[in-house]
A and B are shown apart, each in its own frame.
Chain A
Amino acid sequence: MKALCWEGVNELSVEDVPDPELRNDQDVIVKVSAGTTCGSDLHLIGGYIPAMRAGDVIGHEFLGEIVEVGPGVRRHKVGDRVVVCSFVGCGRCWYCANDLWSLCDNSNTNPGITQAMWGYEPGAVFGYSHAMGGLRGSHAEYVRVPFADYGAFPVPDEVDDVSALFASDSAPTGWMGADLGGVRPGDVVAVWGCGAVGQMAARAAMLLGAERVVCIDRFPERLAMTRQHIGAETIDYTETDVGAELRELTGGRGPDVCIEAVGMEAHGTGPDYAYDQAKQQLRLHTDRPTAVREAIYSCRKGGSVFVLGVFGGAVDKFPLGALMNKGLTLRGAQMHGQRYIPMLLDRIAKGELSTRHLATHEMSLDEAPTAYDMFKHKKDGCVRAVIRPGGAAA
Chain B
Amino acid sequence: MKRAFVAAAVVAGVGAGLVRRLRSRAASRQDDLSRWLVVTVNVPPERFGETPEPLARLKDHIEIRTAPAPGGKGTELAARLCGNGRTGGTGPIARLSGNDPRQPVREALREAKSLIETGEIMKPDAPPTTRSTPGGKLVGLVTRRASGEGRL
- A contacts, CB < 8 Å to B: 5, 7-11, 15, 17-18, 20-21, 23-26, 47, 50-56, 72, 88, 90-94, 97, 105-107, 109-117, 119-121, 124, 130, 133-136, 144, 146-147, 282-283, 286
Contacts and interface: CB of A to CB of B under 8 A. Distances in A.
A387 B102 CA distance: 45
B129 A115 contact: no
Contact of A53 (B18, B120, B139): B139
A114 B149 CA distance: 10
A91 B139 contact: no
Contacts of B13: 50, 283, 286
Contacts of A117: 17
B14 A106 contact: no
A8 B120 contact: no
Contact of B149 (A56, A115, A283): A115
A50 B122 CA distance: 22
B6 A112 contact: no
A13 to B, nearest CB: 11
A116 B122 contact: no
A144 B113 CA distance: 23
A164 B27 CA distance: 53
B67 interface: no
B91 interface: no
A54 B124 CA distance: 17
Contact of A55 (B74, B118, B129, B143): B129
11 contacts: A24-B121, A25-B120, A53-B136, A72-B120, A92-B42, A105-B117, A109-B147, A111-B147, A115-B150, A130-B142, A282-B9
B110 A130 contact: no
Contacts of A136: 125
B40 interface: yes
A353 B32 CA distance: 53
Given A9-B7, A15-B130, A283-B9, A135 B146 contact: no
B111 to A, nearest CB: 10
A135 B125 contact: yes
Interface in B98-152: 110, 113-114, 117-131, 133, 135-136, 139-140, 142-143, 145-151
Interface in B1-55: 3, 6-7, 9-10, 12-14, 17-18, 21, 39-40, 42
B14 A53 contact: no
B57 interface: no
Given A146-B122, A283-B13, A90 B147 contact: no
A144 B124 CA distance: 10
Nearest to B131: A55
B65 interface: no
Given A112-B147, A113-B143, A134 B125 contact: yes
A134 B128 contact: yes
Given A112-B146, A115-B150, A116-B149, 20 more contacts: A23-B124, A23-B125, A23-B126, A26-B119, A53-B128, A53-B139, A54-B135, A55-B129, A55-B131, A55-B136, A72-B119, A93-B117, A106-B118, A107-B122, A111-B146, A111-B150, A112-B145, A114-B150, A117-B17, A286-B13
